[in-house]
Amino acid sequence: MERPIVDPYRRRFLRFLTLGAAAGGISGAALAQTLRVSPRDILEAKEALNVSDFLPIAERTMRPAHFGYLQTGVLDDGTIDANRAAYRNWGIRARRLIDVSRIDLTTKLLGETWASPVVLAPVASQRAYHHEAERPVARAARSRGALQILSTMTNISIETVIADRQGPIWFQLYPTNDMDIAKALVTRADRAGASAIVFTADLLSGGMRRETQERLARMDPGDCSSCHDRSAGFADLVRRKAMFDRFDLGEARTLNNPSLTWEFIRRLRDWTDKKVLVKGIMTPEDAEMALAYGADGLIVSNHGGRAEESLVGTLDALPAIAEKINRRVPLLLDGGIRRGTDVFKALALGASAVCVGRPYIWGLSAFGSEGVEAVLNIMDEELRSVMQQAGVTRIGAIGRNNLTPLG
């Protein structure tokens, strides 16, 4: 009797079900994800060829409202597009017959050494993407030797995240409109073991209308009111956020504060002896102001296109800022990074390191800690490969001479 033909994809699907049953059953969400999977999709994190392989799986595992919150820009999402388009304006100069048998990705920032220049950017409310929230990300950061920046709007306490990370993290600060709350947040992060405070200056006015988020929220069949009571305002926004669970909200009414000026950096300097970075710098003038008021580092950022519709990509803004600060402090960049080649180009144009946000959340949603690790591994492998092509063996040696303008 002729044996039935079972195609490889079906065989993998059956193996997935068998392993799930052996482990005590498959959750409804995992089974639903598997039943909807496409033949082009991956079933294990290690099968991903690039970070975008995690996106379709993440989209199916997230609620539409949560996916919209992650992927949205503002208005027409034009600044998100600008962030990506900027990388297509630069080519990489390939060099030959240079010994590139050993590539060193080690990166030093503010006295700390990391295994790679790829940093896990702060992303709020990670329980929307995985039931363990920020904890799998901390474990992946520990495994890969990566820097993790924790959002003020974390679902998991900073103390727990640092315990999982088994090492320092940086804490991203939304100051609120109450200086007592802002100081309390910084003090708690200090005591927990954060080695730097990252003040976010690019969303102080609350940002612009996020149309993609709103449209996808309308498609969500679930009852969002069980988690979000919009009529309750700020108190509801932070009631499930771990950083706010130890103190009275006092006069706090908003997460951001449009009345802040550069003097706030001096206040931060008084509150903490840790390093202070300013995130959201997009012009040389603001870079100089941040340094004048005491910043120890800068992050070129437009909040991933979520805060402004400037139509200016962060990579486009980087060279002039890098020239202005002239390596006086570390200069990081986020926005649109999807490939190791993107990382290389940012480093060549003056960045000390880069922050990646959406891609590692796709990995988190799809496969938990393994997905985050896979995203970091793919980025590092691609960066290592392009460094070999360019004839550069260490991060500090990457420079403008490694690029060719294409526009």
Active centre residues (catalytic)? 303
Which CA distances in Å does 17 have to 4, 35, 164, 243, 368?
A: 20, 10, 30, 39, 18
Q: How do strand 90-92 and strand 403-405 relate by DSSP bridges?
A: antiparallel
SS (H, E, C) the chain: CCCCCCCHHHHHHHHHHHHHHHCCCCCHHHHHHHHCCCCCCCCCHHHCCCHHHHHHHHHHHCCHHHHHHHHCCCCCCHHHHHHHHHHHHEEECCCCCCCCCCCECCEEECCEEECCCEEECCCCCHHHCCCCCCHHHHHHHHHHCCCEEECCCCCCCHHHHHHHHCCCCEEEECCCCCHHHHHHHHHHHHHHCCCEEEEECCCCCCCCCCHHHHHHHHHCCCCHHHCCCHHHCHHHHHCCCHHHCCCCCCCCCCCCCCCCCCHHHHHHHHHCCCEEEEEEECCHHHHHHHHHCCCCEEEECCHHHCCCCCCCCHHHHHHHHHHHHCCCCCEEEECCCCCHHHHHHHHHCCCCEEEECHHHHHHHHHHCHHHHHHHHHHHHHHHHHHHHHHCCCEHHHCCHHHEEECC
What gap in Å lies between CA 144 and CA 69, rounded to an integer?
A: 27
Tokens (6 digits) for 131: 């039931």
What gap in Å lies between CA 120 and CA 361, rounded to an integer?
A: 10
